[in-house]
Amino acid sequence: MNAPRAVRALGAAAALGACLVPLAASRSVRAQAGRTGVRDSAGADSAARAQRAGLIPAGYGSLRQDDIALTVQILGLTVKAFPLEESVIRTLAPDSYRTLRAMREDKAKALEETRVRLGLPSVQAWYVAFSNLEQGEARYDPSDLLIRSVGRDFRPLRWLPLRAGFGDGRLLQRAMQNAVYAFDPAIDLNQPLVVTIGTQQSAAWGEVLQRIERERSLVWSRAAAGKP
């Protein structure tokens, strides 16, 4: 090849290379943008799924335990019950959330034993407290608790006392007994339900659900702003 032809060949190669480099860079940028878009989309989908499931971030709630409790009054007794599921207790103020989560975790081994023994996919933990604000002694039956959900009645599978003497069924004036109850996981916490003690009942879960849903929205806002 003579000198002029060599120069022309080198010039053509250089021009082709100049075209290919921006093209390759453009493809790289588009590919990277595509991967970023996929990651962003996946993250958004994950956050959306978490929000739909009620899995709000912990530590941003502001509700009190009484805000999520179903309360029944019977024969001088006040009975309060509410689920210990994360989707519910994360709406509580941080101190209450940590206390109840630790309570549930303390009974985790016994709850798991119950699940395995009964062959269930999981068990649903509830906090139940009996208190006597009347004069004299009050009696209660730990097993006399019924939850009606989606057309079915659910009795406790097991109760795990938090204080000695829970199973005695007696309360002096201004005394309280409480326990973690294990229930069938088929209880649908996203639908209205009724808690019955003896002949009395509370059907206020629909109102509680509305309160919980409002708080979940507030928690997402606080978490986004980084303000508990």
- What local confidence, expressed as pLDDT, does residue 81 receive? 98
Q: Which one, of 157, 147, 148, lies nearest residue 118 by Cα?
A: 157
Burial 144-175 (b: 16+ CB within 10 A, else e): ebebbbeeeebebbbbbebeeebeeeebeeee
- What local confidence, expressed as pLDDT, does residue 180 receive? 98
- What local confidence, expressed as pLDDT, does residue 93 receive? 98
Query: Looking at the predicted structure, is the pLDDT value of residue 23 above 60?
Result: no
28-51 mean pLDDT: 45
Distance CA 9, CA 15 (A): 10
- What local confidence, expressed as pLDDT, does residue 168 receive? 92
| Reported pTM | 0.76
What digits encode the pLDDT tens for the residues 156-191? 999 999 999 999 999 999 999 999 999 999 999 999
Distance CA 151, CA 163 (A): 33
pLDDT band at 55 (very low <50, low <70, confident <90, very high): confident
Instruction: Tell me which residue has tokens 């899995």.
Output: 55
User: Distance of CA 98 to CAs 124, 125, 141, 173, Å?
Assistant: 18, 16, 29, 29
